[in-house]
Structure 1
Amino acid sequence: MSTKDIAESQLKSLVKTAAQNHQLGQLKEAEFAYKQLLAQIQPDSVEESSFLAKFYPVILMDFALVLQKQGKLEESLELYQQALRIKPDFADAYYNQGHLLWTQGKLEAAIESYQQALKFQPSFAQAYHALANIFQEQQQFEKATQFYQEALKFNPNLAEAYNNFGNLFKAQGNYNKALELYQQAIRLKPNFAQPYNNLGNIFKQQDKLEKAADSYRQAIRINPKFAEAYHNLAGIFFRRGNLEESIQHYQQAVQLNPEFAEAEFGVCIGQLPMIYTDVEEINLRRERYQNCLQNLVNSYQNASPKQQAKASSAVGTLQPFLLTYQGLNDRPLQQTYGKLIHQLMSGRYPQYSQPISNIELAENEKIRVGFVSGFFRGHSNWKIPIKGWVENLNREKFELFGYHTDIKQDQFTQEAKQAFVKFVQGPLTLQQWCETIQQDRLHVLIFPEFGMDTVTLQLGCLRLAPIQMTSWGHPETSGLPTIDYYLSSELMEPENAQEHYTEKLVRLPNLSIHYQPLEILPHRRTKSEIGLREDEIMFWCCQSLYKYLPQYDWVFPEIAGRLKTCKFVFIKYHGDASERVTKVFGQRLRHAFEQWGLDYQDYCIFLPRLQAGQFAGTTALADVFLDSIGWSGCNSSLEAIAYDVPMVTLPGELMRSRHTLAFLKRMGIEETIAADPDDYVSIAVRLGEDAEFRQSIRQRIAENKSKLYGDLKPVLALEDLIVNSVNTLKFSHQKRSVRL
């Protein structure tokens, strides 16, 4: 039967049925209706019907949309192209086809399709908006800005464009402008959940957590199925240390979106609290984390390559940073975690996951060494270990490249730039970072830390240089199969230290770093200003409170009970979970002191967070520095040494518990290195009650602390390691080439 024999009313009825099903979200029913409709139409006789001549391309496009929403992309694309063959100036079809191509990752084709839509409809605001979104995704902010402005010129009420334009300014760190645009989107469309969610993200960046939580809750009230808002609200609870609420909201996000990898990782990482009430909680939380991690591994082992690649976006958004504060060997857990995230990242970026064995190094050519970090600024990672290495590596042998993955910068960033022949700062997409680094044809790539910066970890999961190294910016093995060497300290590592690392351990001489004391003008302070009498011994306990493990709480009341006239000076935890962390630690101290019949408030002082000058001035007052057991002081120990403060330390089995041990050994002062907890207490008591002994230690620190500064031996050893590893790999490749 030809088209002209079909009653126009019958066709209209079928079109109406298909459109109604589509509108109601009944996609399978809509698909069936469109198939029924098309089965009665002969395309070669469409022009015989004035109704079909006008609406046939629209029918094809609407059917394509139904298929597209069901993930039937190839069938959908064929229908768009069929519609465009019939109606070459069909702007809406070009626009929807652009969305499909973008979904497939065919960005150039998507851009061309949107541009075709604009060719035939120059005032098509949504097409400008789509192009802006693509260019923003590619970090091409100038182009994105241009297209957002065009979209809003042609449709000043396009709330979605204001929202996404706000995302652009957020990505550039202009939070005030982003807030303004999100609020405009809400004014235009009060029931638009997305800008509320984005407002929450801004408030979170500004550490306005209550406002952030309120914004996320408003987004959820508008859209109770908004998985991302549940995920973000979970993040607020996590930062505050409210783990049960955090996990509950992460689980809700996963329930709403079973493929929400960031939320799945949140459920896992969310098992790790910032501080523990007792030893039993450490064991419980560790077991829960291990079980959740294994569940993730099992889940992604059975996932499709597409699902694994999609999950790569979750890598590094939350990291097991707090695992290291349990005081245990984390190598097995980190190896499981490292293999998992490597699997996800290599699935998404296979082109950056292949071994690189061919090292091209011409005669007299310098070795190219890159450093990737989010902390080329006033941060402890810049002070230790990055600064000393990059400023002292021999420029006659090496060309240095710096990759600053964070948008923050300060005077130290400017200082860092001078150390490199090339210095690149974000924001860049991960693809752009990979391209940038590979174009530099590095021989060695060094990641000074893993655990604190998202982009650094994502890049570390890939293979961007033949030789890749990490170090103790965060003293923990990465667990990544892509990292070849772990740069550590000869004096800090025990004999069996290789058992703690998946990487090949390298013990650089002495402290492994080239360190210079900080130039800080201390604020003059007195003991009375911070709550001590002049005759009371001040034990300086200045570590972050989560470094103090509950199994060692008893050392404080035992010292107090034996010494009487002393006080322990702590610093309140400053952070989103400050109230909880300080409260839990205070409760632990109360319980520990009660066991000795003492009131902890008679002996413990909690100072507010101190600025650099205040910290230095307070450190200078201290009689004794009590090193935290399980995780030793590093920067804080070095800063105490600058003021000749005697210190007692108890080294453990892990490198992170042996920093102060190394400093004391380097200075030749071993009398205050304890053999066990009882010895730790005895040394602390002796330092407190024996003024002569205390003064002799002070004098020896003053005479020997220069041995900690400006040490070039670690730098020379690092140079030798780089040269030897490059030559070894080059020689190995040459041998394989000869055999071939």
Structure 2
Amino acid sequence: MARWMWRWGCWYLAGLSVHVNAAVSVGGSIQSTLASFHRPFLEILTPLNGQVVESSEVDIELVVRDYIMPSSFRTYKVCLGIHENTAISSDGASVGVVEFCFDQTSSKQFHVQNLLPGTSYTVRVVLVDKGTVIAVSMRTFRVAAIAIQGHTENVTILTAMQYALSYQNNLDTDSAMRIYESILAEAPGHGHALHLLGLAKYQRGDTMEAIDYIEQALQTNATHEEFHNSLGLCLKDIGRTAEAATHFETAMSLRPSYIEPRFNLASIWQSTGEYDLAIPVFRAMADKVHSQTLALEYAAQFDVFVRLCDIYLASKQQNMALECLNEALVLWPNDPTFLNERGNLYLNAGYLDLAEADYKIAADAGVLISMLNLAITLDASGDTDESINLYSKILAVSEARGLPTGRVLIMRAGVMPRVLPAEGQLVDLARQAMRRRLDSMLAQDNVTVDSRDPILNAYPTGNYLVSHPYNNKQLKRSLAQMLQMYCPALKTAAFIPPPSPSIATDLGAVSSTHLELTSMNSLQSDVLPELRRRPRIGFVSEFYQTQPISHCMHDLVERLNRSQFELFVFAVSTPQSAKLPALTDGVEHVIGLPEGVGPSADEIRRHDLDVLVYADVGSDKLSFFLSFANLAPIQAAWGLGHPETTGVPAIDYMVTSEYEHLSFHDHYTETPFPLKGMGIYLKEPLTPHISTYANSSPDDVRATLTQAFHLPSEYRFYFVPEPLVNVHPDMDSIVRRILKRDPIGHVFFLTPPKNSKWKHAFTERIKLQPGLPAHRIHLIIDALDDISTFALLRACDVHLANLYTNKFYHTLEASAAGVPTITLPGELWRSRIPLGLLKHINVLDTVATTPAEYVQLAVRAASDRSFRHQVVGKLQKYAPKLYGDDEAVHEWARFLQFAVDKSRRKRKTHANLRALQDNPTHSTNGLAPPTAKDVTL
């Protein structure tokens, strides 16, 4: 039994009901009345014969074509009846049907409700004129019945779809798919069921199956915008981005207000690096989020800002990224995602205090990655104990959650004080603690390896050990061994690709650039190395305007004999680096390395080098991690770029100087190769290239300092240009004694403008010196950022070389400016660099042998006019020998030829070994088969 409600035209026949107990017998057909007409007088347009209806309601539409009827039949009535096909009496006769008749009209529409799932119905319409049946039309249809688990009665397709969507939105895709499959068994061409089943497959990761179902849905209706959007998502997922973009564009053309395909198309532009196209789309959406007019779910609105901020970061628009993150944090205050990203931005820009504040809020919310970033920041700030304790806490949490711990162990192992503590024994204790951590990790039999890019993982390089007054050979060797053990991909530079920086998700399912500076003959030659006319030499170096090492490399490479070597410079630089055209002039090949250790290694390998030299392997992270992979048969490091052993097994030689201490062989894991002289070739002083500021004359600099620090009209200017983290507390005592002997002396240090913790730690440490006149010690920070270090060196009275580590270019530029350098050389090369430069020009008047003599010489060079005049005169006479030094070029050529010979022997040995492995009976030109001792892989 069913209850029907009819609607005719726009009138409801309220309360009308029919109890149907038997099938209807009509007693006539279209064929028996007026069969000569090609088109029937009367026809039921919907439902179609045999149609499966998806709800408990159906529209019945019929047409009466009175214009083709004889005029004698135009006083007709239309009578309509519907019955269940299962309502048959015991004798098979028709029972109890009621038909309704309506006056003549050209068309009729009726609406029937309360149909039963699983029931078949027959609709009969009769055209009657004066009691005579002149036409009949009949249709049979069935209401689909879908079984829902946990329900005793079947339901219609429409109800079943509602259940399935509820399951799907709650991520119960199994239940949803069972219902969709039941619907398709009843109605195989059901477009929405095909579409949603495809989306359920997409949610489960079965993208190819999803595409098949959604394409079938599009065959049922190619103008449905949601079908196009969903297919676009699937195609994007398998990398067919061009096809995906086409479907997103189609969806937008079908419904211009449809926001989801616009979002997804912009996400494709984001993934393909077409940021100029993506930014306006996400920017417009972000503005609508602010105005609360964006028709997207809350999570998707959040995602708009995630993607927009990510794009700004990826396109190196840091200021815009910061604005975006600040804007997001107004909408979502203290959200850990945006706080963590803003912390990353601050950390990379050097604002450690701001980074620490953001990370701490996110870490307190339990975000593990923010805890890790906070530990990194505490380490960089010099909060050693806090950093180690937090790393230990992260290890405990990771182990409890079953997460890998290798990365955290690696990072904890390298923690070391930045601004050194006042007590020397605390430095010793920190070194011993690092040794214990490394030994413990190296002693493990089963380790959790992490083969992601070590720069992205913030792995330690041991760079800050350079400030310690000790031989770091063993510590650096252990650090390198540990890195190779826990990150074995370092040996090949075949790292796991990094994940997308965006944590955003696509909408619609169910609610680092390679810089080519010059490119001359950059493609790899097909000529075998042993047949090439010129061996290939590569230099990896920072290569931009403000780096002195850039100019040294350029001038040296430009002077090396091109007929003897084919020379490549692989430039480590950032997109923000201001590169001078002069740095590429005269250099045969200058190739900008892409972001990431793996891509950079691939770029270097492409050129099939014979020898590769790292100019600053210890101070530059990319160079350091690249050096673990054998990117050339012979690899070397330059001992002036970073005057310290690397500890890296893959580096064969350390290019150093004859001015090393007699015990220098014990200081390196590499084989030292001392050059005659310093090995520095510069055409002219660096100052014209590095210092580009208008007010940088010595008088202008001193006037600026006088005003900024409220100095007396007459003072003596002592300058320590090394970073605070490189200044050992033993230097504090030297400074105190200098100021005690010179009552008008003022000592200036450089401090980073963005790290107040370093400044505070150093200030507090130096105050511990008894009797120190603290008002005569000054830290030059960002208030004077219009004055370069080299301008300060030219303006000072005395350059105080650091006790235990020094950069070569400080003494180089001070000497060129006629400024005395006071130095106290030790056994380690990093303490002897000023001595080497002064010895090279035979100006040794300011070289001390004891701390007391260092103090005496410093004060004397500043205040004793006769002595100062003598030293300055010698510097002005002999310092030009430091520039245009052809001996340095000859010495480098000597080393490179030596390295090329080693490279060729290694290639030949490897070739013989491979031939022997391929054919054990093969003779290698009468030579004995190579042994393991002969081969270095």
Normalization by structure 1: what TM-score?
Answer: 0.77
**Aligned partners of 1:502, 1:176: CA distance in 2, in Å?**
43
Contact between 1:300 and 1:308, CA under 8 Å: does it hold in 2? no
**Aligned partners of 1:55, 1:669: CA distance in 2, in Å?**
89
Question: How much does 1:344 deviate?
Answer: 5.5
Contact between 2:721 and 2:789, CA under 8 Å: does it hold in 1? no
In the alignment, which residue of structure 2 is the partner of 1:497?
A: 664
Q: Secondary structure at the match of 1:505?
A: strand
Question: How much does 1:719 deviate?
Answer: 2.2
**Cα distance change on mapping 1:333 and 1:129 into 2, 3 Å:** farther
Q: Secondary structure at the match of 2:813?
A: helix
Matched, 1:443 2:610: yes
Question: How much does 1:713 deviate?
Answer: 1.7
In the alignment, which residue of structure 2 is the partner of 1:105?
A: none
1:156-184 Cα offsets, whole Å, 9 max, x none, are 85442442243232233212333454456
* Equivalent residue letter for 1:396: S
Question: Residue 323 of structure 1 is aligned with which of 455, 465, 469?
Answer: 465
Contact between 2:677 and 2:840, CA under 8 Å: does it hold in 1? yes
Question: How much does 1:513 deviate?
Answer: 1.0
Contact between 2:146 and 2:183, CA under 8 Å: does it hold in 1? no
Contact between 2:388 and 2:412, CA under 8 Å: does it hold in 1? yes
In the alignment, which residue of structure 2 is the partner of 1:555?
A: 734
Question: Residue 361 of structure 1 is aligned with which of 521, 524, 529?
Answer: 529
Question: How much does 1:657 deviate?
Answer: 0.6
1:49-80 Cα offsets, whole Å, 9 max, x none, are 569988699679758856xxxxxxxxx65xx5
Contact between 1:342 and 1:462, CA under 8 Å: does it hold in 2? no
Question: Within 5 A, what are the aligned runs for 1:138-149?
Answer: 140-142=272-274, 146=277
Matched, 1:569 2:747: yes
In the alignment, which residue of structure 2 is the partner of 1:600?
A: 773
**Cα distance change on mapping 1:321 and 1:535 into 2, 3 Å:** same
Question: Residue 338 of structure 2 is aligned with which of 185, 189, 195?
Answer: 195
Matched, 1:337 2:479: yes
**Aligned partners of 1:128, 1:426: CA distance in 2, in Å?**
35
- Which stretch shifts more, 124-133 or 227-236? 124-133
Question: Residue 714 of structure 1 is aligned with which of 883, 888, 893?
Answer: 888
Question: Residue 821 of structure 2 is aligned with which of 647, 653, 657?
Answer: 647
Q: Secondary structure at the match of 2:450?
A: helix
Contact between 1:230 and 1:252, CA under 8 Å: does it hold in 2? no
Contact between 1:311 and 1:344, CA under 8 Å: does it hold in 2? no
- Which stretch shifts more, 237-246 or 273-282? 237-246
* Equivalent residue letter for 2:768: H
Matched, 1:10 2:145: no
Contact between 1:58 and 1:83, CA under 8 Å: does it hold in 2? no
Contact between 2:464 and 2:725, CA under 8 Å: does it hold in 1? no
Contact between 1:278 and 1:551, CA under 8 Å: does it hold in 2? no
Question: Residue 698 of structure 2 is aligned with which of 496, 517, 523?
Answer: 523
Question: How much does 1:278 deviate?
Answer: 1.5
Contact between 1:490 and 1:507, CA under 8 Å: does it hold in 2? yes
**Aligned partners of 2:826, 2:803: CA distance in 1, in Å?**
8
Question: How much does 1:665 deviate?
Answer: 0.8
- Which stretch shifts more, 677-686 or 344-353? 344-353
Q: Secondary structure at the match of 1:141?
A: coil
**Aligned partners of 1:423, 1:185: CA distance in 2, in Å?**
41
- Which stretch shifts more, 148-157 or 436-445? 148-157
**Aligned partners of 1:64, 1:297: CA distance in 2, in Å?**
44
* Equivalent residue letter for 1:164: R
In the alignment, which residue of structure 2 is the partner of 1:69?
A: none
Matched, 1:630 2:804: yes
**Aligned partners of 2:304, 2:445: CA distance in 1, in Å?**
35
Question: Within 5 A, what are the aligned runs for 1:609-688?
Answer: 610=784, 619-620=793-794, 622-632=796-806, 634-684=808-858, 687=861
Q: Secondary structure at the match of 2:768?
A: helix
1:162-210 Cα offsets, whole Å, 9 max, x none, are 4224323223321233345445656776786433432333344555555
Q: Secondary structure at the match of 1:309?
A: coil
**Cα distance change on mapping 1:255 and 1:18 into 2, 3 Å:** farther
Matched, 1:591 2:768: yes
* Equivalent residue letter for 1:591: L
In the alignment, which residue of structure 1 is the partner of 2:310?
A: 167
**Aligned partners of 2:189, 2:366: CA distance in 1, in Å?**
39
**Aligned partners of 2:530, 2:471: CA distance in 1, in Å?**
43
**Cα distance change on mapping 1:633 and 1:209 into 2, 3 Å:** closer
**Aligned partners of 1:721, 1:156: CA distance in 2, in Å?**
68
Question: Within 5 A, what are the aligned runs for 1:6-405?
Answer: 8-10=147-149, 34=174, 48-49=185-186, 62=200, 77=206, 81=208, 88-89=215-216, 140-142=272-274, 146=277, 157=296, 158-159=300-301, 160-182=303-325, 193-207=336-350, 211-216=354-359, 219=362, 224-251=365-392, 254=395, 257=398, 258-259=403-404, 264-295=409-440, 297=442, 302-303=447-448, 307-310=449-452, 312=454, 314-316=456-458, 318-343=460-485, 346-347=488-489, 350=492, 360-361=528-529, 365-383=533-551, 385-405=552-572
**Aligned partners of 1:308, 1:368: CA distance in 2, in Å?**
33
How many residue pairs were aligned?
A: 691
* Structure (1 or 2) with the greater strand fraction: 2
Question: Residue 703 of structure 1 is aligned with which of 877, 880, 892?
Answer: 877
Question: How much does 1:630 deviate?
Answer: 1.1
* Equivalent residue letter for 1:10: Q
**Cα distance change on mapping 1:22 and 1:327 into 2, 3 Å:** farther
In the alignment, which residue of structure 2 is the partner of 1:71?
A: none
RMSD of Structure 2 on Structure 1 (CA)? 4.7
Question: How much does 1:651 deviate?
Answer: 0.8
**Aligned partners of 1:449, 1:498: CA distance in 2, in Å?**
20
**Cα distance change on mapping 1:464 and 1:412 into 2, 3 Å:** same
**Aligned partners of 1:583, 1:351: CA distance in 2, in Å?**
39
Contact between 2:798 and 2:861, CA under 8 Å: does it hold in 1? yes
Q: Secondary structure at the match of 1:449?
A: coil
Question: How much does 1:703 deviate?
Answer: 1.9
**Cα distance change on mapping 1:684 and 1:322 into 2, 3 Å:** same
**Cα distance change on mapping 1:189 and 1:547 into 2, 3 Å:** closer
Question: How much does 1:668 deviate?
Answer: 1.4
Q: Secondary structure at the match of 1:373?
A: strand
Which segments of 5 or more consecutive residues in structure 2 lack a partner in the other structure? 1-117, 119-144, 153-159, 218-226, 286-293, 496-523, 913-922, 925-937
Contact between 2:469 and 2:804, CA under 8 Å: does it hold in 1? yes
Question: How much does 1:323 deviate?
Answer: 1.8
- Where relative contact order (Cα < 8 A, 6+ residues apart) is larger, the structure is 1
In the alignment, which residue of structure 2 is the partner of 1:104?
A: none
1:656-676 Cα offsets, whole Å, 9 max, x none, are 111111122112133432233
Q: Secondary structure at the match of 1:395?
A: coil
**Cα distance change on mapping 1:11 and 1:83 into 2, 3 Å:** farther
**Aligned partners of 1:373, 1:293: CA distance in 2, in Å?**
29
Q: Secondary structure at the match of 2:451?
A: helix
**Aligned partners of 2:555, 2:434: CA distance in 1, in Å?**
36
* Equivalent residue letter for 2:725: Y
Normalization by structure 2: what TM-score?
Answer: 0.63
**Cα distance change on mapping 1:17 and 1:333 into 2, 3 Å:** farther
**Cα distance change on mapping 1:459 and 1:95 into 2, 3 Å:** farther
Fraction of identical pairs, as percent: 20
Q: Secondary structure at the match of 2:819?
A: coil
**Aligned partners of 2:251, 2:405: CA distance in 1, in Å?**
37
* Structure (1 or 2) with the greater helix fraction: 1
1:629-682 Cα offsets, whole Å, 9 max, x none, are 112353222232223233331111211111111122112133432233344345
Contact between 1:359 and 1:730, CA under 8 Å: does it hold in 2? no
Question: How much does 1:126 deviate?
Answer: 6.9
**Cα distance change on mapping 1:345 and 1:726 into 2, 3 Å:** farther
In the alignment, which residue of structure 2 is the partner of 1:724?
A: 898
In the alignment, which residue of structure 2 is the partner of 1:417?
A: 584
